[in-house]
Structure 1
């Protein structure tokens, strides 16, 4: 069995192993990490040898930590990362390069249609009728997108929404509210087979699916990192937030994961504060006194036009994993438009948590 895991902000860990009589055998850990002294790698292999195959990633990490000499130094590597790589091997997880990725980047669409397209495309990936897909959104109007479980009245100021002509929609994933305007945000979705995140905890999957965009930002001179549970941050502040939804496959079989991210390019913070009800409690764990400081536009950090930032991100993904151009099919669009009418544009859905 073979498993790979890219440690967030670190290096690739590769594990090859066998399972005999319910325990790990012939365990070999490798990768492009740094480890001192040399014999520490043998200690890691030895710690995993004979471990019950049912041991979770935390338990495997504990075995490794206990076996390492006090002088051991790991750079780009963590005991937890090795444990995750083992679990991915046992789960027969796939890798990014196993797939033929498709790009969808179409003209501006309505907020409700974007919500529906996320559901339709991810459902198609789960059913095996569509390849894993990177979809870059373009907005035709300003919007507030609230999380699946958020209270409408607690998150949105109706007066501000009316003053600024903002559309309110609710997405299928959890997480917090987002304020977007055409040209001021960069939003994308990844619709991926569940096998890509096999062996990862829900929290670990966020970091794993965000890793490519951290590399893309690095190519543009921005040192960014994953900030648990669902943020991307830089030294200057938060620049993006992610959310996920797991969708079951046909007949309850393996499904797909929807992972979507909204990045701040040039947010009008005053307008955002007039539209969203951002409480002191929400800001308290961010170490800031105002919501303005939480929004750090990519425009200032890159000095690039929004279109150029998107082009660079797409190029980075293509260079890493391959990417061919595609489009929403006529059938997918028809289903999405039906979902807009019957679900995403209805008061029943938008106010399902009043």
Structure 2
């Protein structure tokens, strides 16, 4: 597996790059496996592929604060990210891991690796719900995936030094909640994991057994997705 440690200048480019990495892997003739790490500087709301924008996001507050709201290509509910939130994406090959076609196996495989990377620093880190990482029952990592013919992308957030007030300020109460949340509001449900960014990054890289750094990335495809999708208001507001 290779590492792509790359944060692009705009939110649209960063979301487009995740999708482009999956599409490039699909178009190739050999299996691709890659870990991407990135971190936005400014607050950003990212909604799931099937999310209803106004049900999950306080759009007016986002507009007042100049916070971008974008729709990603994978499922799941809305998240807030920004400085203090490390983002990761893992592209995996079905040819190399045919068992990952079963979603429950896929969740356990990816989240189990990430959990093992974190328990070395914070032994209390737990995996709850479908694919949430928690500390003392409070969530610090939300994750989602998109599956295609030969590859999948599994990506998510790791809150380590994030302004948690942004979450309840910019998001509404989610329409769907895991049982372990027990109807708690954002304020009493989310937390930061107390691991420094450099250590968090180092442990993730070790967990995925990185063999080298990716030199090339799909520039043209990323730009095409930015132009056709991620800067298109209809894509974000389509539901």
| TM-score above 0.5 | yes
Assess if the C-alpha contact under 8 Å between 1:241 and 1:261 holds in 2: yes
- Quote the residue 1:313 is aligned against: 204
The structure, 1 or 2, with the larger RCO (C-alpha pairs under 8 Å, 6+ apart) is: 2
Alignment of 1:48-67 (within 5 A): none
Q: How many residues align?
A: 237
Q: For residues 335 and 129 of structure 1, do their structure 2 counterparts lie closer, same or farther at Cα, with a shift above 3 Å needed? A: farther
Q: Deviation at 1:293?
A: 2.0
Assess if the C-alpha contact under 8 Å between 1:231 and 1:242 holds in 2: yes
Question: Partners in 2 of 1:273 and 1:293 — Cα distance?
Answer: 10
Q: For residues 228 and 290 of structure 1, do their structure 2 counterparts lie closer, same or farther at Cα, with a shift above 3 Å needed? A: closer
Per the normalisation by structure 2, the TM-score is: 0.89
- Aligned match of 1:325 in 213, 226, 230? 213
Quick check: which has more Rg, 1 or 2? 1
Assess if the C-alpha contact under 8 Å between 1:155 and 1:277 holds in 2: yes
- Quote the residue 2:138 is aligned against: 237
Q: Structure 1: 5+ residue runs without aligned partners?
A: 1-100, 249-254
Assess if the C-alpha contact under 8 Å between 1:111 and 1:139 holds in 2: yes
Assess if the C-alpha contact under 8 Å between 1:133 and 1:191 holds in 2: yes
SS in 2 for 1:263: strand
Q: For residues 223 and 165 of structure 1, do their structure 2 counterparts lie closer, same or farther at Cα, with a shift above 3 Å needed? A: same
Per the normalisation by structure 1, the TM-score is: 0.62
Is 2:220 the partner of 1:334?
yes
Q: Deviation at 1:109?
A: 3.3
- Aligned match of 2:147 in 226, 240, 246? 246
- Quote the residue 2:120 is aligned against: 219
Assess if the C-alpha contact under 8 Å between 1:108 and 1:140 holds in 2: no
Show CA shifts across 1:38-84 (max 9, x none).
Answer: xxxxxxxxxxxxxxxxxxxxxxxxxxxxxxxxxxxxxxxxxxxxxxx
Assess if the C-alpha contact under 8 Å between 2:48 and 2:77 holds in 1: yes
Show CA shifts across 1:133-190 (max 9, x none).
Answer: 00001214321000000111111112210232211110111101000112x1111000
Q: Deviation at 1:263?
A: 1.3
SS in 2 for 1:119: helix
Q: Deviation at 1:206?
A: 0.8
Question: Partners in 2 of 1:275 and 1:205 — Cα distance?
Answer: 30
Alignment of 1:184-333 (within 5 A): 184-200=84-100, 201-248=102-149, 255-279=150-174, 282=177, 286-287=181-182, 289-298=184-193, 301-302=194-195, 304=196, 306-318=197-209, 322-329=210-217, 332-333=218-219
Assess if the C-alpha contact under 8 Å between 2:31 and 2:95 holds in 1: no
Q: Deviation at 1:210?
A: 1.6
- Aligned match of 1:158 in 34, 59, 66? 59
Q: For residues 242 and 110 of structure 1, do their structure 2 counterparts lie closer, same or farther at Cα, with a shift above 3 Å needed? A: same
Question: Partners in 2 of 1:147 and 1:268 — Cα distance?
Answer: 21
Q: For residues 130 and 333 of structure 1, do their structure 2 counterparts lie closer, same or farther at Cα, with a shift above 3 Å needed? A: farther
